[in-house]
Amino acid sequence: MVSRQLSAYRGELSAKEVADGINTAIRNAKRLAADAKLMLDAKRYPTAASLAIISIEETEKVSTLRAMSVAQSKDELAQAWEDYRGNRPQGTAWIAAELDAKGAGHLSGFSEAMEKDDHHPGMLAILKRLGVHTECYRKGYWSEPAVVIDANAAAVLVRIAEQACAKNEISDREIALWVEHVGPAWHSSKMPDALLKWAQAKEEEGLIKPNEDDMQRIGVDMLDASSADDERRKKCRH
């Protein structure tokens, strides 16, 4: 039998294709968060934590796809696809020190960090792996999911996942308006005004207008995404 390999697409997307991708990510994030809650209720804490993290990763694809729709160069588009397919563990050195300090216990300090919203994708990817796989982080020292991930850590992650994926699906017209109003302001100080104009355009066309909390969250996500792209471009020039 001839083996077939899936080829990942890396090109441009239409407004409809971006909207479809966002809605697919939202639906999947909600499914994963629901499954994580089931595992949490069943006291399967490591599995609950890992599913919750995957849900968070799926939710983060929403802002990545929005950024992709206004990419201003081939390099930005390539970076957006790399971000979309990222979620790779980074910086595992702290794990051995943390576990060793706790006497081979769980990552007790992690939940407090997550509660303060100090987490980042690298940490989430590492915790996802810790919730599924055994691993050796120093000579003769093995991490075990059932030991590392406790009820409190799992509960925090499930709660974050449920809150993060509480989004409504969108239309391709919303993305078209996004590209029209936000695209020209990408990477500039005009972003806040552009976001306001985008919201006003949605209202004028009878689309569902986000409430203030949603608008603020979208604005912060997009401003952060734009700033991150700016930093990457600066590094590439040096």
Would you list the DSSP string of the chain?
-----PPPP-S---HHHHHHHHHHHHHHHHHHHHHHHHHHHTT-HHHHHHHHHHHHHHHHHHHHHHHHHT--SHHHHHHHHHHHT------THHHHHHHHHTTS---HHHHHHHHTT---HHHHHHHHHHTT--EEEETTEEE-HHHHS-HHHHHHHHHHHHHHT------HHHHHHHHHHHGGGTTSTTHHHHHHHHHHHHHHTTPPPP-HHHHHHHHHHHHHHHHHHHHHHHHHH-
Residue 7 confidence (pLDDT) above 60: yes
Residues 172-189: pLDDT tens digits?
999 999 999 999 999 899
Q: Say how many Å lie between the first and final Cα of the chain, rounded.
A: 49
The rounded distance, in Å, linking the Cα atoms of 15 and 12 is 10
- 88: exposed, middle or buried (Cβ count in 10 Å: 0-12, 13-18, 19+): exposed
Q: Which residue has the higher pLDDT, 37 or 128?
A: 37
Contact 146, 128 (CB under 8 A): no
- Predicted confidence at residue 76, as pLDDT, reads 94
Residue 69 confidence (pLDDT) above 50: yes
- Predicted confidence at residue 140, as pLDDT, reads 77
Among 2-6, 107-111, 125-129, 160-164, the minimum mean pLDDT is found in 107-111
Among 129-138, 168-177, 203-212, 220-229, the minimum mean pLDDT is found in 220-229
Counted residue by residue, the chain has a size of 238
Q: Which residue has the higher pLDDT, 83 or 99?
A: 83
Average pLDDT over residues 34-45: 97
The rounded distance, in Å, linking the Cα atoms of 223 and 194 is 11
Average pLDDT over residues 35-58: 95
Name the residue with tokens 């081939």: 74
- Predicted confidence at residue 223, as pLDDT, reads 56
Most confident of 43-47, 141-145, 155-159: 43-47
pTM of the model as a whole: 0.77
- Predicted confidence at residue 100, as pLDDT, reads 44
Residues 6+ apart with CB under 8 A from 50: 127, 128, 131, 132
- Predicted confidence at residue 224, as pLDDT, reads 56
Of 56, 67, 66, 59, the residue nearest 25 (C-alpha)? 59
- Over pLDDT 90: what percentage of the chain? 46
For the record, the structure tokens of 55 come out as 């849900």
